[in-house]
Chains A and B, each alone.
Chain A
């Protein structure tokens, strides 16, 4: 049967026809897009905590040559990682990652490959965000934590990271939204996310505009819903803290 026979020639008619006939494919695409974007952001965030901990090493007078070398090495690994993933397009990383491993005889499921690439990429961006977030926290927080005997690692875990994460919540949300859109590039390795599905529908009918206008609308709806949801969460988290009006705590000199 000729699939092109039943499709109306006008734009609107064609669009509705494609939607009616192919909505399960779009839904399938949305499923993968959301799955990869949310899990990728989550795993990327966890990896970024680790990379940031490597990055913000502090040297002490007591450190021997060996400790200094190890600390430098950790900083170098973390910063090279960030440089690489921020300095190359995700599409290229996906190609290298998927085909590179395949060449070594390790053929992983496409969706896993896609998820790994998004996670690695997100980690690089969030490491920078987290580092800035930590720099923005009063140095006294770390000092007070060390003064009651917490190790540096425990101070980061219980005092610094929770505050930095709270501050960077909007940035994590942004990253999630970016990931929802950027998963489109994973179509190059054949991940059947929304863009890939749009391409296959468009190819079926030779109606690219209609198929991709639908793709765009679906992206837009997801992103709008996600953005609203995230700002609701951010508001909720920040709401707990009630700042009562109070006078300046540093005495002001009066003549």
Chain B
């Protein structure tokens, strides 16, 4: 079953088109990694999927609903499409626990007790339950990102978007975040990951999208994309990443 699908989406900034007619679908229970050079439109594309970036033309379908339509309840839909950011963006005015309960209480209308129990479940899963009452600013980068993952999971989304989740981390913290992500991905959740971690992408992905200059240049399994000797761009890209 296709959870999320784009149909000919176009996005530009100040007259420069950064996404050209992208049409692609994401199946339930699969992990898709989006790779490609900087400026190829990977993050912008990911952000159009939950409409943090509005598009000029085309559509984004969540199941059968076009979420770019004015009538769509975007706030409700966003609870179903979770997102983790490169720079974590934990709410600085809240504790770790509050970060994970605010959305549940204010959007999903769960009671504070329900929300807390649910949040602690996921904080435990990412190994951050002991830090529940700490302020977000007291955590290391890796810890922040793990809390951000717990915050996303607490909303029980149908699909998870990761926007370069390890790019802002010290090298020694990358591993702890990737481990948590691998654990999630083993649970049959649907994930789309924009990443520069090639080994990670190879290990966890069912499918790789290689983006180049605002287009999906290659779309296939790990073997198909990484071993495509005919494609000069991916060969160059992978060579540079080594």
Which residues of A line the B interface, CB within 8 A?
60-62, 64, 138, 140-141, 143-151, 154, 158-159, 162-163, 166, 240-244, 246-251
Residues of A within 8 A of B38 (CB): none
Do the beta carbons of B102 and A150 come within 8 Å of each other?
yes
27 intermolecular pairs with C-beta atoms under 8 Å apart: A61-B55, A138-B89, A140-B85, A140-B87, A143-B85, A144-B85, A145-B91, A148-B82, A148-B103, A148-B107, A148-B152, A149-B75, A149-B76, A149-B103, A150-B75, A150-B102, A158-B91, A159-B93, A159-B102, A241-B135, A242-B135, A248-B170, A249-B140, A249-B141, A249-B168, A250-B168, A251-B171
Having A146-B75, A150-B107, one finds 13 other A-B pairs with CB under 8 Å, namely A61-B55, A61-B56, A141-B92, A145-B91, A146-B78, A147-B82, A148-B107, A148-B151, A150-B102, A158-B91, A242-B135, A248-B170, A251-B171
Do the beta carbons of A146 and B151 come within 8 Å of each other?
no
Complexed CA–CA distance, A44 and B90 (Å): 30
Residue B50 lies at the interface, judged by CB distance under 8 Å to chain A: yes
Do the beta carbons of A144 and B89 come within 8 Å of each other?
yes
| A246-B140 CB under 8 A given contacts A148-B155, A251-B171 | yes
Complexed CA–CA distance, A138 and B89 (Å): 8
Residue B189 lies at the interface, judged by CB distance under 8 Å to chain A: no
Which secondary structure characterizes the binding site on chain A? loop
Do the beta carbons of A147 and B170 come within 8 Å of each other?
no
Residue B106 lies at the interface, judged by CB distance under 8 Å to chain A: yes
| A158-B137 CB under 8 A given contacts A141-B89, A147-B83, A149-B155 | no
Say which residue of B77, B108, B170 sits within 8 Å of A249 (CB atoms): B170
Do the beta carbons of B102 and A158 come within 8 Å of each other?
yes
Select from chain A the residue with minimum beta-carbon distance to B155: A148
Residues of A within 8 A of B102 (CB): 148, 150, 158-159
Residues of A within 8 A of B170 (CB): 247-249, 251
Say which residue of A149, A163, A243, A251 sits within 8 Å of B107 (CB atoms): A149
Residue B138 lies at the interface, judged by CB distance under 8 Å to chain A: yes
Complexed CA–CA distance, A205 and B54 (Å): 72
Residues of A within 8 A of B190 (CB): none
Residues of B within 8 A of A166 (CB): 93
B98, chain A: closest CB distance, angstroms: 9
Do the beta carbons of B89 and A60 come within 8 Å of each other?
no
Complexed CA–CA distance, A166 and B91 (Å): 14
Residues of A within 8 A of B169 (CB): 249, 251
Do the beta carbons of B152 and A240 come within 8 Å of each other?
no
How would residues 151 to 176 of chain B score, 1 for a CB under 8 Å from any chain A CB and 0 otherwise? 11001000000000000111101000
